[in-house]
């Protein structure tokens, strides 16, 4: 039976807030927070262990909980509305928050199709950008997203929120630049780097063969190592006064061009 929580000083609520706010806490405990019923269900379907479930008082999830957790339900708490609404970014629309057990994200765990597409994010630091990119990767059926030398925790709540749960459907690896380059070469995947140097317009480059798109931050771009080892640097035309798009927009343009090219084979 669910137990009720009516105070922000409750030990479960304190743990929940720490996991929401502190990457160190997530790293040391191996736990993270998922906000939103849809996202919780996606995590469960992807094999994540849901340890605890916090349901907003008034949200009707009893049927859904019983259907998804037929054998062993997680610890479930009914949280008073005024407490729940102080915890969640989305407020009433969220309805549920979960604490789940994180997974490892090794390059060796990635499984590729016969003609893979990889998205490599070089030191991308904003959780909202990372989440939005993962959402686009899901929409375009990318084989994997690799985060290189990133300062962003892939279990940051804003990554999960911005990805709309797609961080559970898209294979993600975390590695160094050197490890990623070796892995791409071993799998014979061409390296296509977004860069202002010696670049071709993206529509003039062949994306029909196994490809890895390497994107960096808007402030400094990709590391010079990528440019030195690139099979081809690519560029998006910028007709205004700015010299770059938001990295998530760049990813979307490139991935949909990849789909366009491959649909014409």
Give pLDDT, residue 93. 58
pLDDT band, very low/low/confident/very high, at 86 (cuts 50, 70, 90):
confident
Give pLDDT, residue 72. 66
pLDDT band, very low/low/confident/very high, at 197 (cuts 50, 70, 90):
confident
Which whole number is the average pLDDT over 256-262?
Answer: 96
Give pLDDT, residue 236. 93
Lowest mean per-residue pLDDT among 22-36, 43-57, 80-94, 121-135: 80-94
- 164 pLDDT above the threshold of 90: yes
Place of tokens 């907003």: 56
The domains found in the chain, sorted by start residue, are 3-101 (3.30.1330.30), 107-263 (3.40.1280.10)
């Amino acid at each position: 039976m669910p137990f009720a929580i009516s105070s922000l000083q409750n030990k479960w609520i304190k743990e929940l807030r720490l996991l929401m706010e502190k990457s160190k806490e997530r790293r040391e405990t191996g736990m993270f927070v998922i906000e939103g019923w849809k996202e919780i269900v996606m995590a469960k379907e992807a094999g994540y262990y849901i340890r605890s479930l916090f349901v907003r008082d008034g949200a009707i999830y009893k049927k859904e909980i019983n259907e998804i957790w037929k054998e062993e339900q997680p610890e479930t708490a009914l949280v008073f509305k005024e407490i729940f609404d102080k915890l969640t970014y989305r407020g009433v629309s969220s309805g549920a928050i979960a604490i789940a057990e994180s997974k490892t994200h090794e390059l060796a765990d990635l499984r590729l199709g016969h003609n893979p597409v990889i998205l490599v994010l070089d030191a991308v630091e904003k959780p909202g950008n990372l989440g939005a990119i993962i959402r686009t990767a899901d929409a375009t059926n990318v084989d994997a997203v690799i985060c290189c030398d990133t300062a962003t925790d892939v279990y940051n709540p804003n990554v999960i929120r911005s990805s709309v749960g797609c961080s559970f459907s898209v294979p993600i690896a975390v590695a160094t630049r050197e490890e990623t380059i070796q892995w791409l070469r071993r799998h014979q995947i061409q390296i296509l780097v977004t860069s202002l140097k010696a670049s071709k317009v993206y529509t003039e480059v062949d994306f029909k063969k196994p490809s890895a798109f390497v994107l960096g931050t808007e402030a400094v771009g990709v590391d010079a190592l990528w440019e030195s080892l690139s099979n081809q640097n690519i560029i998006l035309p910028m007709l205004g006064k700015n010299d770059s798009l938001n990295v998530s927009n760049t990813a979307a343009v490139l991935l949909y061009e990849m789909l366009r090219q491959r649909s014409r084979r």
